[in-house]
Structure 1
């Protein structure tokens, strides 16, 4: 399918690794120019080298003053921003009773407020032009919260409400705001986590994954990890399809037992 993205500009936070990097690659394949952010210079430079000349990047923490503004300015050097993908976030398994207020506020600042800041900087221009598309990367945890990462589920649920409310501001324009709910995804960070668990238990990472779907995600219909590229394809479709607005799209392999 031709999404007619040649020459369009996509800004992807956390686009130097994981799902964000796969999204950047997908937009590039469709002919867009891409701007990504990452935490370290080395990570960003490696991504730019891999993705090629139509990709620019900025290293910085979006919770720090001025970083979001610099990232938007970098993208606007190419022209008006057509797509904003709010992808940056922290995934971490933590005990609820050992997660203090400061840690909760940090998770909120990264997982929610980074998207708020970026959208505040980008969306008003989209509305003045009458076109543009924003996608928040939420999670299956938003509607299927897990007790081993209460903080994460709470933040991802917040993104669903945020994106739907922002979509209400787009009425009468061609601007759209949506969210997407990936399920268990085989990013490099997750692969490392599985290897660590395997080493602790004396089993292979493959067995860790098999046990996970037997014991933790038994409702999964595909019974495997989702590839970042699969999530990226769905993000692209959600971002570029003119009739999709105010929705939450599931890409979780059927783990959520729900019709809608």
Structure 2
């Protein structure tokens, strides 16, 4: 399938590494002008260089901002007043015993994983509707449906993202704008490597640690391995395309069969 996004602008949040960077590369390869966001200028410069290398010289715009705050969202929208594609990928995660999650941690996860997406949709959706075309995607997680006991606060935030996408899809009904969630399964990123080692110990090679993590903590996976970020990006690029015009209000899974449901 040929996806042509030439002439489109795509904002990808949390895109200095991992899934967000892979998504930005995929969109750039399809012809979109990509906007990378993050809190660290040096990391964003490196990410922009990776986009240029991987996407045949594509130039990525970078915006340094903390999107967990209203000021950060305002800074991004001032720098990039409108966009055709918005991918809300920003998120934090980490294991905390269930009864030890503090109020502050709950607020941090809501501000970062949920409210950051709400603010940007609220800012960019009106322009998309006015122009009659747009794509919004929230990167959710298998943890939205299978709440992990080691990070309930994370799972709850990702469940909320599914509702955010479904609700705003109704707001965009009939406008030519689609709003969807992507349910990503356990994915291989630098942050996840640290998470895996925290759970299974650091006294073993990565491949062995990965297998042990999947066996002990994600046994439902039908892949039996972590998903690579590029595999998440492929679905996001499709949902960003004209070919995906009839998919909206959906929670689309790229989870390696981890979630043991027939639908969604």
TM-score range, shorter chain: over 0.9
Instruction: Identify if the C-alpha distance between structure 1 residues 186 and 36 changes in structure 2 by more than 3 Å, giving closer, same or farther.
Output: same
- Aligned match of 1:73 in 53, 60, 78? 78
Q: Which residue in the other structure is 1:173 paired with?
A: 175
Confirm or deny: 8 A CA contact 1:24 1:34 kept in the other structure: yes
Q: Deviations over 1:121-165 (max 9, x none)?
A: 100111112210100000001111111000000000001111001
- Structure 1 residue ranges (4+ consecutive) displaced by more than 6 angstroms after TM superposition: none
Q: Any stretches of 5+ residues in structure 1 without a counterpart?
A: none
Are 1:132 and 2:162 matched, yes or no? no
TM-score with structure 2 length normalisation?
A: 0.92
Q: Give the distance between the partners of 2:213 and 2:90, measured in 1 at CA.
A: 25
Q: Which residue in the other structure is 1:207 paired with?
A: 208
Q: Which residue in the other structure is 1:223 paired with?
A: 224
Deviation of 1:194 (Å) = 3.3
Structural mapping, 1:26-175, within 5 Å: 26-52=26-52, 53-76=58-81, 80-175=82-177
Q: Any stretches of 5+ residues in structure 2 without a counterpart?
A: 53-57
Deviation of 1:196 (Å) = 5.2
Please give the root-mean-square deviation of Cα atoms over the aligned residues, in Å: 1.5
Deviation of 1:239 (Å) = 2.4
Deviation of 1:251 (Å) = 0.8
Q: Which residue in the other structure is 2:55 paired with?
A: none
Q: Which residue in the other structure is 1:254 paired with?
A: 257
Q: Which residue in the other structure is 1:11 paired with?
A: 11
- Aligned match of 1:190 in 189, 192, 200? 192
Moved more, 128-137 or 21-30: 128-137
**Number of equivalences:** 256
Confirm or deny: 8 A CA contact 2:143 2:158 kept in the other structure: yes
Q: Give the distance between the partners of 1:10 and 1:72, measured in 2 at CA.
A: 13
